[in-house]
Structure 1
Amino acid sequence: MNRLAIITDSGTATGFRLAGAETFEVKDNREMQEKVLELINTESYGLIAVNDQLAGDLGEDVARALKNKALPVVLPFPVPREGQVISGEQYLAKLVKDAIGFYVKLK
């Protein structure tokens, strides 16, 4: 059975650990790339979720390692920026806009 790994910063790692997810803390993009490559090479992960602030550029090595593999899927996930608090509706509207390129008013 494939496992889930979360790669994030120390500020958001605690929440994932409390939820029972296998979580790895990194400080920057370089460390994130190294950890993703390490997890890809173990071949026991089906999904590697990466903090989008750290995943800006996955890098050539990661892209090459994933090129001909169905698993794992590397999925960047959004986290609130420090000091930024938005409502659930605003958050969903932003996700929709980022995905389709248009603002959709949610009711």
Structure 2
Amino acid sequence: MYKCMVVTDPETAIGFRLAGLEVIELIDPKEASALLSSLLYRDDTGIIAMNEDFIAELDGRIMERVEKTYRPIVIPIPSGKRAVGQENYIERLLRKAIGYNIVVRQ
């Protein structure tokens, strides 16, 4: 069985730990690319929930790998301030999963 991992900042990490999830805390968003590149090759992980600020800082090659792989799936965790371009990633993720383009509006 695959597990869900959370990569987020220290302020929101405690809530995910209380829910029983494995949490990796990062302070600097620039560390996210190195961490995610190692997490993508783990056999026991099915979902990686990552703070959207960290996703915005990902290296282009890592993001390309994330979009091409079917497992683990990387999903953004909203951070309070809206990161530019995240809705495009979510739309691509939905289109890949169900085969249709769904427009997400607020």
What TM-score results when the alignment is normalised by the length of structure 2?
0.68
Give the total of aligned pairs: 85
Shift in CA distance, 67/77, structure 1 to aligned 2, threshold 3 Å: closer
Supply the RMSD in Å over aligned alpha carbons: 2.1
Alignment partner, residue 87 of structure 1: none
Alignment partner, residue 33 of structure 1: 33
Worse overlay, 8-17 or 23-32: 23-32
1:77 pairs with 2:82? no
What TM-score results when the alignment is normalised by the length of structure 1?
0.67
Alignment partner, residue 60 of structure 1: 60
Shift in CA distance, 66/79, structure 1 to aligned 2, threshold 3 Å: closer
* Distance in 1 of aligned mates of 2:70 and 2:20: 25
Alignment partner, residue 94 of structure 2: none
Specify the structure having the higher radius of gyration (Cα): 1
* Distance in 2 of aligned mates of 1:14 and 1:57: 23
* Identical positions, percent: 29
